[in-house]
């Protein structure tokens, strides 16, 4: 399979759907918003965005199934599955805040082979494929070369409904607020990973994540020279619910701080 060509065609699909999301978001009102759970929102635009992605990607790769946040398709492929978040950062989206992004990854068996993150508000498309490099709007990107946490800018995220580990998580935030250039919460995990991939931040970590939040960003970041792991340092982390991502220089220092504080 030509992963580069699949990525190129999928990228155009994602960007076209992004135009739809941007346009429709200008007319969004609170009556268009549903609540799935505590602080967990969905709009008709999320659902329509996913339906458009599913329809177009089905034509691109008919044998593939879907792991999609809004479950507009429950088809599962024997080998290939698209992992889709139609709007990552829905809370930002409904409040008219950046960032919010479309995240689309292709998984072959258990291996990520394509990843696309389209940050809608800045019109930035981050992408990569198996055997390829990572790009933003056709410009090659790389992780930073920062050597220590002390000199790093770190991104994190707060779980919207799983507060079972918040006391422990607050300890990690307290540490990084005191011992880094700063701690940021942007509200879109897919974008967070893309920003680490292009060196705007040096690390991102969070728990209570879903595969559709992180799958696309993970392959983009790895192909940009970065590391993606769970809180114990395991590489097989897309479905684990917890994630640390960084440039390779920071891996051991991050693990030494986060693992003991977040140990179950």
Last residue of a domain, one of 140, 158, 190: 140
Summary mean pLDDT of the chain: 95
- Tens digits of per-residue pLDDT, 131-155? 999 999 999 999 999 999 999 999 9
pLDDT computed for residue 60 by the predictor: 98
| Residue 233's CATH number | 3.40.190.80
The encoded tokens of residue 244 equal 């640390």
Mean pLDDT on 70-99: 95
- 21 shares its domain with 80: yes
Region class of 225: left (phi > 0), else alpha (psi between -120 and 50), else beta: left
- Tens digits of per-residue pLDDT, 20-39? 999 999 988 776 777 766 65
Q: Are strands 33-37 and 101-108 parallel, antiparallel or unpaired?
A: unpaired
- Domain enclosing residue 131, as ranges: 3-140
- Tens digits of per-residue pLDDT, 58-73? 999 999 999 999 999 9
Q: Is the peptide bond before 246 cis (omega within 30 degrees of 0)?
A: no
Last residue of a domain, one of 81, 111, 140: 140
pLDDT at 197 exceeding the cut of 90: yes
User: What DSSP state is assigned to residue 161?
Assistant: S
Mean pLDDT on 88-113: 96
* Whether the Cβ atoms of residue 49 and residue 130 lie closer than 8 Å to each other: no
pLDDT computed for residue 37 by the predictor: 62
| Residue 60's CATH number | 3.30.540.10
Percentage of residues in the chain having pLDDT higher than 90: 88
pLDDT at 104 exceeding the cut of 80: yes
The encoded tokens of residue 252 equal 């051991």
- 106 shares its domain with 155: no
- 24 shares its domain with 123: yes
pLDDT at 9 exceeding the cut of 90: yes
Q: Distance between CA atoms of 77 and 109, rounded to whole angstroms? A: 9
- 156 shares its domain with 115: no
pLDDT computed for residue 187 by the predictor: 97
pLDDT computed for residue 97 by the predictor: 95
- 129 shares its domain with 155: no
For the sheet with 65-68, list strands across it: 65-68, 80-88, 101-108, 111-119, 124-129, 134-136, 139-140
- 94 shares its domain with 184: no
- 183 shares its domain with 238: yes
**Domain count along the chain:** 2
Best CA proximity match to 121, nearest among 209, 12, 23: 23
pLDDT at 196 exceeding the cut of 90: yes
- 124 shares its domain with 77: yes
Tell me the β-bridge partners of 65.
81
pLDDT computed for residue 254 by the predictor: 98
Last residue of a domain, one of 140, 170, 188: 140
The encoded tokens of residue 46 equal 């999320």
pLDDT computed for residue 38 by the predictor: 60
- 185 shares its domain with 244: yes
Best CA proximity match to 115, nearest among 107, 252, 244: 107
- 158 shares its domain with 123: no
pLDDT computed for residue 29 by the predictor: 77
pLDDT at 218 exceeding the cut of 80: yes
pLDDT computed for residue 118 by the predictor: 98
Mean pLDDT on 162-182: 95
- 68 shares its domain with 107: yes
CB atoms closer than 10 angstroms to residue 18 = 21
- 135 shares its domain with 213: no
Element at 112 (helix H, strand E): strand 111-119
CA angle 88, 130, 18 (to 5 degrees): 30
pLDDT computed for residue 109 by the predictor: 97
pLDDT at 123 exceeding the cut of 90: yes
pLDDT at 258 exceeding the cut of 70: yes
Q: Distance between CA atoms of 218 and 153, rounded to whole angstroms? A: 19
């Amino acid at each position: 399979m030509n992963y580069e060509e699949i990525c190129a065609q999928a990228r155009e699909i994602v960007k076209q759907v992004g135009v739809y999301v941007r346009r429709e978001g200008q007319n969004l009102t609170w009556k268009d918003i549903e609540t799935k759970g505590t602080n967990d929102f969905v709009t008709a635009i999320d659902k329509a965005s996913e339906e458009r992605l599913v329809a177009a990607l089905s034509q691109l790769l008919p044998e593939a199934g879907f792991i999609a946040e809004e479950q507009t398709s429950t088809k599962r492929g024997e080998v290939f599955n698209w992992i889709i978040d139609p709007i990552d950062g829905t809370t930002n989206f409904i409040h008219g805040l950046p960032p919010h992004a479309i995240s689309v990854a292709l998984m072959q068996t258990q291996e990520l082979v394509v990843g696309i993150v389209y940050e809608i508000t800045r019109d930035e498309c981050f992408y990569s494929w198996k055997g390829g490099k990572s790009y933003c709007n056709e410009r090659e990107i790389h992780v930073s070369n920062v050597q220590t946490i002390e000199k790093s800018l770190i991104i994190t995220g707060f779980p919207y409904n799983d507060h079972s580990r918040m006391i422990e998580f607050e300890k990690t935030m307290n540490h990084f607020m005191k011992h880094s250039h700063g701690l940021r919460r942007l509200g879109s995990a897919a974008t967070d990973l893309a920003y680490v991939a292009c060196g705007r931040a040096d690390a991102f970590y969070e728990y209570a994540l879903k595969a559709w939040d992180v799958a696309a960003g993970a392959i983009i970041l790895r192909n940009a020279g970065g590391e993606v792991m769970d809180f114990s340092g395991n590489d097989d982390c897309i479905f684990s619910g917890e994630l640390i991502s960084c440039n390779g220089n920071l891996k051991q220092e991050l693990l030494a701080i986060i693992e003991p504080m977040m140990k179950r």
